[in-house]
Amino acid sequence: MSEKRMVYAEDVIQRIRDLAPEILGGWYNPDMENELEQLVCVVENTPTAAARDAQRWRYTAEEPPKEEDGDCCGRVLIAHAGAHCAVATSLQYAKKNPEAVRVWMPLPKLPWEAEK
């Protein structure tokens, strides 16, 4: 399989629509039209790289948290060196203590925050 690459979904969708007459063989077929729309839906519903990247552990020394990484209260999820669990704490603490806070990640959005 080929390597993953970034594409503009809108460009892919437009290309599918542009090729529709060619794909349909120059004649209208409602069943095939539906299949083309299903292809468009696949592209539209594919998770973005940014979404997958958001919830991952980052090494504090290499990638310290930024203000925009904190939740509404300025917290991130951290794991102390040698710890066996994670806790939410101030991103300022995580930033200033990379030797103690080995890894961190943004907290997930609350369900009612994600809807906004």
> pLDDT tens for residues 61-88?
999 999 989 998 999 999 988 888 899 9
Structure tokens at 112: 């009612």
Predicted pLDDT at 106: 93
2 against 58, higher pLDDT:
58
Predicted pLDDT at 64: 93
Residue 105 above 90 pLDDT? yes
52 against 60, higher pLDDT:
60
Predicted pLDDT at 93: 93
Predicted pLDDT at 43: 84
**Average pLDDT, stretch 58-62?**
91
The CA distance from 108 to 55, in Å, is: 7
> pLDDT tens for residues 10-52?
888 888 888 877 776 766 666 677 777 888 888 888 877 665 5
19: how many CB neighbours lie within 10 A of its CB?
11
Predicted pLDDT at 114: 66
Residue 1 above 60 pLDDT? no
**Strand runs labelled E in the chain:** 58-59, 75-80, 87-90, 101-106
Structure tokens at 96: 């200033």
